[in-house]
Amino acid sequence: MAQKQYGPMAKREARFAYMLLLPTVFIVFAIVLFPLGAAFWISLKPITLADLRPATPVVQERTRGKIQAAGDTFRIEYRLRNSSQKMPIQDVVLVDTLPAGLTIQNLDSRCALEGLQLTCRLGDWDPGARERIRMNAQADSAYASNPVSPRDSSPTIVGKADNILLNFHLTFDNFVKVFTAEQFWSVLVVTFSYTFFGTAGALLLGLLAAQLMRHEFRGRGIFRGLLLFPYVAPVIAMAFTWLVLLDPFSGALNAMLKQMNLMGESLNFFGVRATQFDLFGMTLSFPVALTTVIVFEIWRYFPLAFLFILARAQSIPSDIYEAAEMDGASPLQKFWELSMPHLWGIISVLFLLRFIWTFNKFDDIFLLTGGASGTRTLTVDVYEQGFALSDLGAGSAVAVIIFFILLGFSLIYFRTLDEEEGM
C-alpha cells in the first residue's frame, strides 16, 4: 500500500494545529497529570507532614548581664538546633556582626573574629542536634557610654541538607505498610460494600421512579422536579439535615419509632457500628452506621439514574406496548420482556459510572460519620493517613491503590459504553 504524501501546506497546517493544541496539553498536564505524578512520587517516599520542609539550622541569640561602666563584661549566647529529627545538615556556618567597642573573651575554637564579623564553622549536624556557643564580651568606655545590644543584628546560619521530598531515594515501604495493616482489608471490604449497595440501590430506586414518572397524570412535572431535589441540594445541607433527623436524643425518626412501639430505646444511627438480633435461633450482627450511610447514598443519587433511565424509556416505541396489551400481557411481563431489553444498556453504563463515582466519594461519609463506626472507606483513609496521622507517604500509597482500582473499572466502563453506542 502506497504511503500518503503530504504537501508543504498540509505540513504547515499540521504544525499550526499542534501549536493550537499546546495550551490544552499544558492545562491537562497541570490539572491532571502533575498532581497524579506527585501522588505516585510521594507514595514511594517515607515522608510525613513535618518532612515537607527541608532540614534547616535554627539560631537564637541571647545576652546575660548589664554594662554600667567600662571594663564590665556580659555573656553572649547562641542556641542552635537542627529543625529536623530525621535529616542531617552538612557544613553549618554561623555569621553575626558584633557591636563596636567589645572585646571578645574565651572565643569558641570553631569561631573566628575578623573585625566586627563573627564566623563559626560548626561542621555537620546529626538529626535533632542541639548545641550552644557562649562567649564573654568586655566593654570599653565608648560602648559603656552608648551600649548597643548584640541582638540588634540578627545572626545568619546556613547549611546544606537533603530535601527528602525531592531526592531520588524511592522505596515501596509505604505500600508494604498499607497492605500489611489489618485495618486496610476491613476498609477495603467496607468500601466495596458501600459502593456496590449504594450504586445498586440508587439504580433500583431510579428505575422505579422512572417507571412511575413515565405515565401521564396531573402534576407530573412538579413531581419530576421534586425527585431531583436530593441530587441538586448542597451535600453539606443534606448531611446536616440527616444528622438532625436521626439524632438519638432529639431526632424525629427515633421519636416516631418509639411512639409506634417499634423501638424501646433511641438508636444512634451514625454512631453505632453494629447491633445484634436473633433470627431463627441465630445471633446476627447488623451494621447500623454503614447501612445508614448507604441509605443516604441511595437517596441522594437516585435522581441521576432516574433522569437517564427515564430518557431512555421514553425513546421506546409505544406501539410495542399496545401490541403486547392486545396479546394479553400483564404489566410485569411488559416491563420485563419489553422495557428491560431496551434499558439494560443504559443501566449497565450507569452502574459502572456510579460505581466509579461512589468508590471515589469522600464528602458524604466524612460529613456524616467522619469514617467512624465501621464506615471508613479508602478515600477517608487517605485523609486519615495523610493529615490526621501526618503520614503523607502512606496516604499517597492508598490514593495510588484507589487510582489503579478505578482505572480498571474505567476501562470496563469505556468498553461497555462503546458496546452501548454500537447497539
Count of other CB atoms within 10 angstroms of residue 185:
11
The rounded mean pLDDT for the chain is 86
The pLDDT tens digits of the residues spanning 347-357 come to: 988 998 899 99
Contact 235, 363 (CB under 8 A): yes
Instruction: Give the Cα separation of 162 and 172 in Å (integer).
Output: 20
Instruction: Reply yes or no on whether the pLDDT at 118 is more than 80.
Output: yes
Domain ranges of the chain: 57-160, 175-422
Backbone angles phi, psi at 185, to 5 degrees: -70, -35
Contact 67, 150 (CB under 8 A): no
| 95-99, 148-152, 283-287, 337-341: least confident range | 148-152
Alpha carbon 166 to chain centroid, angstroms: 21
Place of cell 514511594: 44
CATH 2.60.40.290 fits 57-160, yes or no: yes
Instruction: Reply yes or no on whether the pLDDT at 197 is more than 60.
Output: yes
Instruction: Give the Cα separation of 94 and 111 in Å (integer).
Output: 9
pTM over 0.85: no
Contact 105, 137 (CB under 8 A): yes
Between 32 and 82, the more confident residue is 82
The pLDDT tens digits of the residues spanning 401-415 come to: 999 999 998 888 888
Contact 171, 46 (CB under 8 A): yes
The pLDDT tens digits of the residues spanning 5-26 come to: 566 777 787 788 888 888 887 8
CA pseudo-torsion sign 61, 65, 70, 71: negative
Q: Given this model, what pLDDT does residue 200 score?
A: 95
**Which residues lie across from 123 on neighbouring strands?**
92
For β-strands 57-64 and 73-82, DSSP reports them as: antiparallel
For the segment 225-229, the average pLDDT, to the nearest whole number, is 90
At how many degrees (to 10) do helices 182-213 and 340-359 cross?
140
CATH no., domain 175-422: 1.10.3720.10
Instruction: Reply yes or no on whether the pLDDT at 4 is more than 60.
Output: no
